[in-house]
Amino acid sequence: MIQRKWQVLCVTAILSAALMTNQSVLAAESSAQRVEVKLKWNTAQATVNGQDMAIEQPYLSQDTTMIPLSLLTSAFGAGLQYDSQNQMIELSYNGKVIKLSAGSKQAWVNSSPVTLTASPEVKNGKTMVPLTLLTQVMGLQAIVDAKTKDVSIVGSKQEEIAAAGVSLDSDLGKTMIGDSYYGWSMKYPTGLVKDSQSFQGDYVSFSDAKSTYEMYIHIVDEQPENLSGTGLLSRLVDSSDYTVLSKGFVNDPKQPYARLISKDSGGWVYEERAYQSGDRIFYVTLVIYDEADFRNPAKYSGYKDLLDSFSLSYPKGSPTVKDLSTVEGNFRWYTQEDMGLKLKVPANWQNSYNQAFTQFSSADGRQWIKVKVTSKEEGLTLEDWAKRHEQMYRDQIHESYLKVDSAPASTMVAGVPAIEQKFSSSDGAFWYAEHDFFFFKGNYKVYVEIAYDPEASEQEKKELVQTIKQSLTVNQSAMNPAMGEIADDDLVDQDQMATIKFAEQKFSISIPEHWKEIRGEGITKTYEFLGGNAMILAGSGKAATVRKEVEQSIKENSSSYAYLIKENKPITVAGANGYKLYVVGNNDGARFEKTIYLLEKGKNMYMIAFTFSEWVKTKALEQRLQKIIDSIQFTDGK
């Protein structure tokens, strides 16, 4: 058996205090959650109770191991606040309040001075603290293997406390805040907390830690340039529903702006300003909760000072400005906290909401990224999953519109083995090239689909795929604990049917239960499916009369859609006589088909119409549509 020599980090000057603290921690661990963190010098990866976590890599400095401050919050639940005025970090853990600052060994524990073995440092925008801070002050156990440089930290996780609203790692020494991508900045007073920010960064909201005011910055692009003061002011007034107290245009020589002051029914006072730069308008709104504060000259001067500090410029390179932009080069960072997901996407792409997956797309919709996280089925292998996905494509897309550009190949994504495969598909108007990745993370499977312009240069394609692939991480330890089973929609039985009954018309028909119903009025029901839709109508009338109306409509729209009737014949379905029309057409280069069934039974007429693009006309779809027609039943024999 190999015996390791472990070096326990401790400070003899406060050994007795550390031992007393450790006793309380060990006692607490019996009821609190035990946490074990393992990390290594110069390695940007840690494990928290066996779950991987990306971190700023630890290193040796001042003869002490330096670790990222963020570990104390993410792993041990410590609370953080930052005093920007005094440039002090405030750390709270198990009843202790610790204050420290970068570059100084002096710290305070519950207002009592303590000297650290090393001063905190800022590296790559992250605050790094000495490992001995954990043993000196927090009472955690820290062990270092001097030979392998492995570090082990053991302690208990503090119960959750209210979040500060922003990451404090990059707040140290910041007196200004802004966005380098959009080009604005303003003062960053103590107590100002970022509440939310849109993915594009064109909207950000702040609140005051004392709950006296809130602030919004909203940026709108592609606006008319060179608006007059009146034109700019009108945009503020038009968007306000409150009582106007004051409005006008301030011809400030540095940056003129429109100004509107209003009051809502609850007594909140709004001061709104609009600035213009090129085709971009910046809307800045300050909401004061108590009208008395607005009327108090001393208090209002502080609000005005904050508003007046807003500038249509960003001092790039200044260490005193906190940058809210997530843009790096041509890409923007995206984080989905519930799923522990983080990746880079093109900076000008939009994030579109979808319950099934995370999606981003270009303005023209021809390029996109989809990330889908679902539960892994027991016994599933990457190879079987990739084969199943390819077969799903073959069932959904006609062979003339699908190309399998490469066989499944092994690779690495997010630090784990993965499968990658390339496809090309067309909607009849354009061809789309996609690069897919499949990998597992714990009990979940992750699917990544990157679609790019086939006409883009090889360098552009490579940069897009490699940037996304290399930046993508899925941190299991950061996932929402409430995450449970996530069923995969791809496993839905496409042919599972549900019956629709038209009681008054004595008619029933079955359709795939996963088809999405488009709510409408009257006796018409419409359903969407991939690449098409189905319309079902039941009511009084004659099939022959409706047939003539359909023929006339096709004739009138032939020039627009190049309609051509390929089949128009009498039929009998479930004992009802009628007609079937099969029509083809073309919509901006994309060919489509319509199959219309017109049936008559007694005094009622029934229409079932399928419209779908040619690219989804597979054998599986044709069999599914025929199954629907075969399900038709009439409950009245007359």
Task: Quote the CA–CA distance of 533 and 540 in Å, as a whole number.
Answer: 23
Q: What's the pLDDT band for 10 if we cut at 50, 70, 90?
A: very low
How do 524-529 and 532-540 pair as beta strands? antiparallel
Residue 136 to residue 133: CA distance in whole angstroms: 5
Interacting residues of 506 by C-beta distance below 8 A, sequence separation 6+: 601, 602, 604, 634, 635, 636
The pLDDT score that the predictor gives to residue 20 is 29
Q: Would you tell me how many other CB atoms lie within 10 Å of the CB of residue 205?
A: 18
Between residues 27 and 272, which one has the greater pLDDT?
272
Determine the Cα–Cα distance for residues 464 and 461; give it in Å rounded to an integer: 5
Q: What is the pLDDT of residue 166?
A: 43
C-beta separation of 194 from 206 below 8 A? yes
Q: Which residues pair with 355 in a beta bridge?
A: none
Q: Is the pLDDT confidence value at 477 over 60?
A: yes
Query: Which pLDDT value is given to residue 50?
Result: 82
Least confident among 471-480, 485-494, 627-636: 471-480
Q: In the predicted model, what is the mean pLDDT of residues 101-114?
A: 84
Structural domains in the chain, sorted by start: 7-157 (3.30.457.10), 176-323 (3.40.1000.10), 329-491 (3.40.1000.10), 497-634 (3.40.1000.10)
3-state secondary structure of 460: helix
Q: Residue 19: which pLDDT band, with cuts at 50, 70 and 90?
A: very low
Instruction: Tell me the mean pLDDT in the region 206-215.
Output: 90
User: What one-letter code names the amino acid at 14?
Assistant: I
Residue 169: band (very low, low, confident or very high) from pLDDT cuts 50, 70, 90? very low
Which range among 28-42, 223-237, 258-272, 421-435 shows the weakest confidence by mean pLDDT?
A: 28-42
Where are the alpha helices (H) located in 75-139, listed in sequence order?
A: 132-133
pLDDT at 164: 42
Mean pLDDT check: name the lowest of 81-90, 298-307, 351-360. 81-90
Three-state secondary structure call for residue 69: coil
pLDDT digits (tens, 9 = 90+) for 286-296: 999 999 999 99
Question: From CA 544, how far away is CA 527, in angstroms rounded?
Answer: 25
Predicted confidence at residue 529, as pLDDT, reads 95
Q: How confident is the model at residue 15 (pLDDT cuts 50, 70, 90)?
A: very low
- Mean residue pLDDT of the chain comes to 86
Q: From CA 311, how far away is CA 307, in angstroms rounded? A: 9
Any idea what DSSP says for residue 138?
I
| Strand partners of residue 341 | 336, 474
**By three-state DSSP, how is residue 172 classified?**
coil
In 14-68, alpha helices (H): 15-29
Q: Which two tokens stand for residue 293?
A: 């504060």
Residue 524 has pLDDT above 50, yes or no: yes
β-pair type (497-502, 507-512): antiparallel
Residue keyed to tokens 């990746």: 343
- pLDDT confidence band for 140 (50 / 70 / 90): confident
- For residue range 386-439, list pLDDT tens digits in order: 999 999 999 999 999 999 998 999 999 999 999 999 999 998 888 999 999 999
For residues 23 and 306, the model is more confident at: 306
Report the C-alpha gap between 473 and 414 in whole angstroms: 5
Residue 161 has pLDDT above 50, yes or no: no
Distances in whole angstroms, Cα of residue 307 to Cα of each of 270, 271, 273, 300, 483: 12, 9, 9, 11, 41
Task: Please list, in sequence order, all residues whose beta carbon lies within 8 angstroms of the beta carbon of residue 147, skipping any fewer than 6 positions away.
Answer: 4, 5
Inform me whether the pLDDT recorded for 552 exceeds 50. yes
Structure tokens at 364: 């023209």
* Out of 27-31, 314-318, 481-485, 567-571, least confident range: 27-31
Place of tokens 């108590």: 290
Judged against a pLDDT cut of 90, whether residue 308 lies above it is answered with yes
* Count of CB atoms situated within 10 Å of the CB of 465: 17
First to last CA, the chain: 90
Asked if residue 349 has pLDDT above 90, the reply is yes
pLDDT reading at 29 higher than 70: no
Q: What's residue 278's pLDDT?
A: 95
Kindly state the average pLDDT of the residues 115-121: 88
> Residue 55: CA atoms inside 13 Å, Cβ hemisphere, count?
30
Helix (H), strand (E) at residue 387: helix 382-396
Give the whole-angstrom CA distance, residue 52 versus residue 36. Answer: 12
| pLDDT above 90 for 625 | yes
- 577 close to 514: Cβ distance less than 8 angstroms: no
For the record, the structure tokens of 244 come out as 């106007």
Alpha-carbon gap, residue 205 to 214, rounded angstroms:
7
Question: Residue 260: its pLDDT value, please?
Answer: 96
Cα–Cα distance measured from residue 419 to residue 407, given in angstroms and rounded to the nearest whole number: 10
Please provide the DSSP assignment of 513-561 as one string: TTSEEE--STTEEEEEETTEEEEEEEEES-HHHHHHHHHHHHHHTHHHH
